[in-house]
Amino acid sequence: MAGFSHYPFGTSQVAGTRAGQCARPCTGECRGKCAGAFGAGAADALVPWCCALVLLLIGAACHRASPQDSGAVHSGERLAPGVLSRDREFIVAMSLDAREAVLSRRTFEGVAFDRRIGLVWSERTEVGAGSDWSLPRPLAWSDSTALEIDPVVMPGTGDLLFNSTRGGEGRGRDQRDFDIWIAPRERTGWGAPRRLPAPVNSPVDDYFATIACNGTLYFARADNGPPRRSAIFRSRPVGGALSAAAHDAPYAAPESLAVINVSGQVSNAAIAADESLILLVDTRASGQGDSDLYVSARQGTSWSEPVPLRGVNTAAAEFAPAFSPDGQWLFFARMQRGRAGEAPIVSENVYAIRLRDALPLGIAVPGMAPRDCRSSRGR
């Protein structure tokens, strides 16, 4: 399988995000203008600085960046605009071979703006720079009467984790909190989902579950309030071994990540395949104005104080982080809220940025990618 470093994700390619990346093939326009302005011999040495100057003075379109030494990066590019990002999608989960994508799609209906959230599926026509994605359509087992969100493809097996308010499997008829479900990977897609049992699921909202290669599950739990508070929990598989699927083995009682759960508004935790870092969403007074993305690095048995990602957070709401199958890209959602009289959300789309450009200095890209721990069942 070709690497994402040569082609990102189809016809809507994601350009490199630092001026120092202008030497890449996709940024030849910047490089050519540098050579034309300063001479071919000087172009290589001046590329990092020249590209920023080109953008300011000549208007080349391949980057929106500052010199690499400054650490400045732009805020990501929309993923396949008009197909995977149509102003109503807010998370993407890619199969381990990057040929399929599952997204959450949200709409608002009626004068009361009743929300509808469901899972939709798209397939890639071929893997390569000229590939296209099909228009997303609902999964065969989607429950249109429920809210279904936050798809995540499990490393190792390719199974699909997601959250749903659907009934059945030990839930009361009127129970409408979010629970974590899993759909097993099959040869032709994902099979019928099953609800994870207690102690992972509880009577309150349990959502945005991600899993490391060793089977440890990280997820958010929110109480009913008021005020409503959310936190990140971790649950280890009994025995400590990676199960063929999360529902095949019991999980220990969830434990709160105390160092991370400070504000009471932490959620959307994406764990790295090797558990070296965790991406999360928080709303802080020191942030950019709405929810922002942060990262915490593993420190022995604990975690570092979360710090903001670089070049990602804006005055809009950033949330729903996810790793690409090769671990080199970060997917995330950006949402613009509506004003009075408008739908609560005007637009939300999936964005992508190179992970190395989003991580603060001193925090390395994880050494293991989701596809690195795949099993013979995973796709």
* Cβ(241)–Cβ(235) below 8 Å: no
Give CA–CA dist 272/287, Å, rounded. 23
SS3 263: coil
What letters, b where the CB count within 10 A reaches 16 and e where it falls short, cover 41-65? eebeebbbbbbbbbbeeeebebbbb
Work out the average pLDDT over 134-155: 94
Of residues 375 and 296, more confidently modeled? 296
Give 63's contacts (C-beta < 8 A, 6+ positions apart): 15, 16, 17, 18, 19, 21, 22, 27, 30, 51, 55, 74
pLDDT value at residue 24: 34
Least confident among 39-43, 112-116, 120-124, 269-273: 39-43
Residue 352 near residue 325, CB atoms below 8 Å: no
Peptide bond into 227 cis (omega under 30): yes
Q: What is the pLDDT of residue 248?
A: 53
Query: In the chain, what is the straight-line distance between the N-terminal and C-terminal CA atoms, in Å?
Result: 12
pTM to 2 decimal places: 0.79
Asked if the peptide bond before residue 199 counts as cis, ω within 30 degrees of 0, the response is yes
CA–CA dist 223, 34 (Å, integer): 56
Spatial separation of the C-alpha atoms in residues 253 and 29, rounded to whole Å: 55
Would the CA dihedral through 356, 83, 211, 175 be positive or negative? positive
Return the pLDDT at 244. 40
**CATH class assigned to 77-373:** mainly beta
Mean pLDDT across the chain: 79
On the question of pLDDT at 331 being above 90, the answer is: yes
Q: Where are the domains of the chain?
A: 19-70, 77-373
Whether 192 has a pLDDT exceeding 90, the answer reads yes
Do residues 78 and 12 lie in contact, with contact meaning Cβ atoms separated by under 8 Å? yes
Q: What integer pLDDT is reported at residue 127 of this predicted model?
A: 59
Residues of the chain with pLDDT > 70: what percent?
A: 73
pLDDT at 238: 85
Closest CA to 133 of 147, 123, 143, 144: 123
Q: How is residue 230 written in tokens?
A: 């959310």
Question: What pLDDT, on a 0 to 100 scale, did the predictor assign at position 172?
Answer: 65
Where is average pLDDT lowest: 122-136, 216-230, 263-277, 320-334?
122-136
Distance CA 118, CA 126 (A): 26
DSSP per residue, 200-231: TS-SSEEEEEEE-TT--EEEEEE---SSP-EE
C-alpha 94/C-alpha 322 separation (Å) is 9
- Would the pLDDT of 138 be above 60? yes
User: Which residue carries 């399988």 as its tokens?
Assistant: 1
For residues 255 and 200, give the distance between their C-alpha atoms in angstroms, rounded to a whole number: 10
